[in-house]
Amino acid sequence: MILALSVGPCSRASQVADLFPTVSPEIVVREARLEDCWEVADTHCSSFFPDYSFPLQFVLRIDRLLAMLSRFTIPNGCRRTFLVAVIGSTVDQTFYIGSEDFKIGGSDGNLSLNRGNVAGILTLDTDANFLPRKGPLRQRRTGIAYVSNVAVRERFRQKGIGKRLVAKAEAQAVSWGCRSIALHCDSSNPGATKLYKGQGFKSIKIPEGANWPHPKTSPDIKFNFMMKLLNTPNTT
């Protein structure tokens, strides 16, 4: 499932996420760490491909794992991060092994062992791969963060985790200087549509005959493109 945001009234979700990064003693929304990679891959595949069995399910998890590691090879000037909602983990429950002097892809060499479980995931970037290009030269659009790969493990659904992930994504996008946030939402998923509209996102009508990019999935899946203006200093 891929999220979609829409241009509409600015909400205070990003402000709340900034004030309360740990949204409850039981649920922490933060950037993914190296040791989260396998759980993130497993959450992604079990949510989007629940009927796949071994060995395909294992191959898909490896593919997703490699996709996460690709965050270190994004286009020049672009940003990307993976957010996770962790259940049953706080700062006090995390300890570290390694040295701060050792760097991996821009991250320090500390390896934290987290006792919590990854319950939800979200990818945020400014690659603009799924945004319409600008002008006759088809230039990459800037200032727009894109949300994708939003998933919550089945046993943790209906607990507001999706909303918390989106709120944190908004706060991150604001910190990157983005003026809006966008995504594609599966039009056959009323739960996701309700979530995003409830967060203030609105559908953007694609001009007739326009060939806007969209996620490459099954040809049977139709997407709504959605955007939302962010409450940044430039929009107030």
List active site positions: 196
Q: Is the omega angle on the peptide bond into residue 233 within 30 degrees of 0, that is, cis?
A: no
Beta strands 103-104 and 180-186 are unpaired
DSSP character at residue 143: S
In whole angstroms, what is the distance from residue 83 CA to residue 149 CA? 10
Q: DSSP letters of 113-135?
A: EE-SEEEEEEEEE---TTS--BT
Helix pair 37-48, 56-69: axis angle to 10 deg: 130
CB 126 within 8 A of CB 78: yes
